[in-house]
Amino acid sequence: MDYTAQLDAAIDRLHEEGRYRTFIDIERRKGQFPHAVRTRPDGSEQDITVWCGNDYLGMGQHPVVLNAMHEALDATGAGSGGTRNISGTTVYHKQLEAELADLHAKEAALLFTSAYVANDATLSTLPKLFPGLIIYSDALNHASMIEGVRRNGGDKRVFRHNDIAHLRELLAADDPSRPKLIAFESIYSMDGDFGPIKEICDLADEFGALTYLDEVHAVGMYGPRGGGVAERDNLADRIDIINGTLAKAFGVMGGYIAASDKMCDAIRSYAPGFIFTTSLAPTVAAGAAASVKFLKTAQDLREKHQEQAKILKLRLKGMGLPIIDHGTHIVPVIVGNPVHTKKLSDMLLDDHGIYVQPINYPTVPRGTERLRFTPSPVHGSGEIDSLVQAMDRLWSHCALNRAELAG
């Protein structure tokens, strides 16, 4: 067996499909976000502005977070030294879980090493707890939910994205006596659109289903205390399991679910993805806890975040660029062709020091390839000006279409 040839063939397939990924080598500069230094392939350095990060509020450089991490490092050392069950549960993990349970007004929270793992581990474990479970999953759910649902061996139904009528049809077609769960997101990160939380909760009530909501792109940023869209809309108590990340708005890393005591206890006891892996480093748990706590009262930061997103959308729209605007903080500009998207992204980086990663199929459907900008409170008016001017120039340079401008 020629294993090397098979690896070559696998990589070649990606090249042929235009899906081979290359990483941009960057080092963020603490205290200077969104600025970073890129190391070019030839080893030279370039100052750049990051426009596609998910550190949505700049908490990755916030003194409150950094101080908590320094203190934990000095107090307890680097790693946790074990799984949660075997010597890896510390006061930092307990504090963070208490902050998160409080954030979502739930009885308990359970930490995982990422929100990907939290989704995968939880969704793949639920059929063990509820034999015969049917999971209804939004067609645009994140890969981590798809993977968890796929691996669990139970029945699944995929409903068309945000299509309540289709979800109802699927629910109604199934045996009323079987346990059910509806899995969806509050903000879908590629289009930046909201999930219909209330309508889905109404259907869940009607059909006796549990609800599972991924708030990864909303926690820290929406709701009066950063509890997400469900908190903003007073719907958190209607969600059985909330999933969130500590890696985006909270600026650190890790993931979690928040739910009832019993639900967390059962997942804790049955999910291999929770049980058989080393717990988060105490430094990470300490930084995340400080971030969650800080953001509970940082409404000014949330407002500034939304304001920056509004300004950027308004300015890009003003130039006739085809942006998708669902009223969230995510700003996708549709280019509609993978070659142009890559070219725009390369030129923004090489000629303007603006870093935005191209988003292609299969992350988004073919023909909707895009640049996805993530403005934040640390992007000032100077950075926005530079981006808008560069996009204007490059859009003309590549002879891409613009919308008819009113007036």
CB of 136 vs ligand PLP, minimal distance in Å: 17
- Would you say 142 or 313 has its CB closer to ligand PLP? 142
Strand ranges of the sheet holding 155-159, from the earlier edge strand across to the other edge: 108-112, 255-259, 241-245, 210-214, 180-185, 134-138, 155-159
- Would you say 306 or 363 has its CB closer to ligand PLP? 363
State yes or no: is 156 an active-site residue.
no
Q: At what angle do helices 143-151 and 115-129 cross, to 10 degrees?
A: 30
- Would you say 108 or 115 has its CB closer to ligand PLP? 115
CB of 298 vs ligand PLP, minimal distance in Å: 20
Query: Strand pairing partners for 135?
Result: 156, 181
CB 305 within 8 A of CB 377: yes
Query: Which one of the listed residues 106, 248, 293, 313 is annotated catalytic?
Result: 248
CB 305 within 8 A of CB 54: no
CB of 113 vs ligand PLP, minimal distance in Å: 8
CB of 14 vs ligand PLP, minimal distance in Å: 20
- Would you say 235 or 391 has its CB closer to ligand PLP? 235
336: nearest Cα among 358, 363, 369, 360 = 369
CB of 140 vs ligand PLP, minimal distance in Å: 9
CB 121 within 8 A of CB 112: yes
Pairing mode, if any, of strands 180-185 and 193-194? unpaired
Q: How many Å apart are CA 250 and CA 272, to the nearest integer?
A: 26
- Would you say 56 or 92 has its CB closer to ligand PLP? 56
DSSP string, 42-65: TS-EEEEEESS-S-TT-GGG-HHH
Q: CB within 8 A of 127, min separation 6: which ones?
A: 133, 152, 153, 154
Contacts with ligand PLP by CB under 6 A lie at 114-116, 119, 142, 144, 185, 189, 214, 216-217, 245, 247, 255
Instruction: Report the catalytic residues.
Output: 248
